[in-house]
């Protein structure tokens, strides 16, 4: 199942015409600033008068139509959108991510290969090996549970390609919109405690996983993915080997019976169905570690520019980002009542310091009420209330800033050949009557 050419391609191919047919105005090609040309043409697509129409930037894809995809069914999952069925890839619409702790039925699925079947947790083993391991050791899941302190941590898992669908020019790969992210509570043990138990040498550089899923081609000698992180991230207090989620077994598509969770880093490092963890004396060289996978240009490039493999750098922590999870984009609302908003914000290895909201295309901003994370590297919940001065079509924009002073880009971050790290501010549409 492949996504058909949609509104983003329309804007990419012919921005002038897209602006005219969508927003009902023409933009000045020299300045790229829009000027309003009456209110007629727009209503066909958005179906309402646009409030603050003079503030709409040229080439803006309306939030009311920016994230349209198709629904599907999978056991134990509810309301996810299918992007690809082989390998299985499915994301969660933002309004279904409204829970402060993501339930299993709302966590996205990103498979590179074919998951193992008929998994038996009682006979599953995890072997610690590699050039820099002191004592090669094999653990059963029971060993892990009994030998090490059990910890519960709420940690953000986000695919490096989340948001890819909005890059222009478009790039190949799963066309994730916003929902390849979640923040369940993971149950397991610290990766650090296990690494210390088997021991590692001074020359340890990387910690990598191998897993039980098989290659999409069916070839037995090929593995779909084997990635890792620098030893410093592996021994972070929050890095986990998880055997559960929200107090239950892991969902079979989310790594049952054993997975890594490296909060705040590209999801691809958080191996599912793991049976081997290797302590390497070099940067790991497994499938999908090499360029251009999960890498971005070391220096920014122009949109569409090709980049040599050696000029691509491995992604470490994910950038600052936020979601509006209530209300659902596209709702109808009465101008007489105020509208409560809810959402989450997160940023790689650090926390969030501010969450700003605008209802006038960024002309003015308000600060939302931001909660503390329930533990380090959990997403932070925020609340806000807005009032609309008139009826019409509105967009609510949310933008976070983290403790390092980094903010989300208003439009898009730097274009890159594989379409990673799109952390643009989230926008939703509201029709006020
Ligand atoms: N063994 C294995 N681990 C894997 C993958 C995979 O295909 N196989 N996909 C990775 C990627 S790219 C992401 S984003 C996360 C997704 O985790 P989830 O499917 O539980 O949401 O798992 C990672 N771990
Ligand atoms: Mo991913």
Task: Report which bound ligand comes closest to the CA of 421.
Answer: 2
- pLDDT in the model for residue 44: 53
Tell me whether the omega of the peptide bond preceding residue 292 falls within 30 degrees of 0, making it cis: yes
Whole-number Å distance, alpha carbon 268 to ligand 2 midpoint, is: 4
Q: Are 37 and 24 in contact (CB under 8 A)?
A: yes
- pLDDT in the model for residue 45: 61
Whole-number Å distance, alpha carbon 342 to ligand 2 midpoint, is: 26
Each residue's pLDDT, cut to its tens digit, for the chain (433 residues) gives: 233 345 666 677 777 777 776 776 665 555 545 444 444 445 556 667 888 888 888 778 788 777 655 555 788 999 999 999 889 999 999 999 999 999 999 999 999 999 999 999 999 999 999 999 999 999 999 999 999 999 999 999 999 999 999 999 999 999 999 999 999 999 999 999 999 999 999 999 999 999 999 999 999 999 999 999 999 999 999 999 999 999 999 999 999 999 999 999 999 999 999 999 999 999 999 999 999 999 999 999 999 999 999 999 999 999 999 999 999 999 999 999 999 999 999 999 999 999 999 999 999 999 999 999 999 999 999 999 999 999 999 999 999 999 999 999 999 999 999 999 999 999 999 999 9
Nearest to 8 by CA among 20, 23, 18: 18
* Atom number of ligand 1 nearest to Cα 161: 14
Residues contacting residue 407 through CB under 8 Å, at least 6 positions apart: 320, 399, 400, 401
- pLDDT in the model for residue 23: 75
User: How far from 259 is each of 115, 161, 241, 268, 274, CA to CA, in Å?
Assistant: 13, 20, 6, 11, 5
- pLDDT in the model for residue 46: 67
Nearest to 229 by CA among 278, 267, 269, 268: 269
The pTM of this model reads 0.87
Q: Which long-range contacts (CB under 8 A, 24 or more apart) does 120-123 make?
A: 121/243, 121/249, 121/256, 121/257, 121/258
- pLDDT in the model for residue 61: 78
Segment (H or E) for 155: none
- pLDDT in the model for residue 9: 63
Distance CA 267, CA 263 (A): 8
Dihedral sign for Cα 168, 172, 176, 180, please. negative
List, as one string, the DSSP characters of 296-317: EESS---TT----GGGEEE--S
User: How far from 11 is each of 1, 21, 163, 350, CA to CA, in Å?
Assistant: 23, 10, 16, 35
Whole-number Å distance, alpha carbon 306 to ligand 1 midpoint, is: 27
Q: Are 267 and 164 in contact (CB under 8 A)?
A: no
Nearest CA to ligand 1 atom 5: 111
Whole-number Å distance, alpha carbon 130 to ligand 2 midpoint, is: 24
Q: Are 216 and 86 in contact (CB under 8 A)?
A: yes
Q: Ligand 1: which of 77, 223, 253, 272 to mutate, most ligand atoms within 8 Å of CB? A: 272
Nearest CA to ligand 1 atom 23: 268
Distance CA 301, CA 192 (A): 37
Whole-number Å distance, alpha carbon 111 to ligand 1 midpoint, is: 5
Q: Is 286 in the pocket of ligand 1 (CB under 6 A)?
A: no
- pLDDT in the model for residue 5: 46
Q: Is 109 in the pocket of ligand 1 (CB under 6 A)?
A: yes
Give me the residues near ligand 2 (ion), CB cutoff below 5 Å.
110, 159, 267-268
Q: Is 107 in the pocket of ligand 1 (CB under 6 A)?
A: yes
Look up tokens 């989300």; give the residue: 408
User: How far from 44 is each of 23, 32, 48, 49, CA to CA, in Å?
Assistant: 10, 23, 8, 10
Task: Report which bound ligand comes closest to the CA of 108.
Answer: 1
């Amino acid at each position: 199942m492949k996504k058909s050419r949609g509104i983003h391609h329309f804007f990419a191919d012919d921005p002038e015409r897209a602006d005219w047919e969508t927003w009902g105005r023409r933009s000045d090609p020299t300045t790229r600033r829009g000027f309003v040309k009456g209110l007629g043409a727009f209503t066909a697509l958005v179906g309402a008068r646009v409030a603050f129409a003079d503030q709409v930037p040229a080439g803006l894809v309306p939030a009311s139509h920016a994230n349209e995809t198709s629904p599907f069914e999978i056991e134990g999952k509810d309301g996810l959108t299918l992007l690809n069925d082989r390998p299985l890839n499915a994301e969660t619409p933002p309004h279904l991510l409204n829970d402060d702790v993501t339930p299993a039925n709302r966590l996205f699925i990103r498979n590179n290969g074919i998951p193992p079947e008929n998994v038996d947790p009682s006979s599953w083993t995890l072997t610690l090996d590699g050039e820099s391991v002191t004592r090669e050791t094999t653990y059963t899941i029971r060993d892990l549970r009994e030998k090490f302190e059990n910890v519960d941590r709420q940690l953000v898992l986000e695919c490096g390609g989340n948001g890819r669908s909005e890059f222009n020019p478009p790039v190949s790969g799963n066309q994730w919109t916003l929902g390849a992210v979640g923040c369940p509570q993971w149950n397991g043990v610290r990766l650090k405690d296990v690494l210390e138990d088997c021991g590692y040498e001074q020359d340890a550089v990387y910690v990598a996983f191998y897993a039980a899923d098989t290659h999409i081609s069916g070839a037995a000698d090929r593995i779909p993915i084997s990635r890792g992180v620098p030893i410093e991230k592996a021994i972070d207090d929050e890095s986990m080997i998880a055997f559960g989620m929200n107090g239950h077994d892991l969902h079979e598509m989310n790594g049952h019976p054993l997975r890594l969770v490296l909060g705040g880093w590209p999801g691809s490092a958080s191996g599912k169905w793991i049976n081997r963890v290797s302590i390497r004396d070099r940067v790991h060289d497994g499938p999908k570690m090499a360029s251009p996978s999960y890498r971005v240009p070391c220096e920014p490039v122009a949109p569409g520019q090709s980049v040599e493999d050696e000029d691509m750098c491995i992604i470490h922590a994910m950038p600052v980002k936020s979601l509006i999870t209530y209300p659902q984009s596209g709702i109808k609302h009465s101008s007489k009542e105020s509208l409560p908003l809810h959402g989450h914000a997160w940023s790689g290895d650090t926390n969030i310091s501010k969450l700003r909201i605008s209802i006038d295309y960024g002309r003015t901003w308000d600060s939302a009420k931001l909660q503390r994370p329930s533990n380090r590297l959990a997403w932070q919940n925020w609340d806000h209330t807005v009032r609309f001065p008139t009826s019409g079509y509105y967009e609510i924009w949310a933008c976070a800033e983290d403790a390092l002073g980094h903010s989300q880009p208003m439009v898009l971050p730097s274009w890159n050949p594989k379409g990673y790290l799109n952390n643009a501010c989230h926008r939703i549409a509201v029709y006020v009557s």
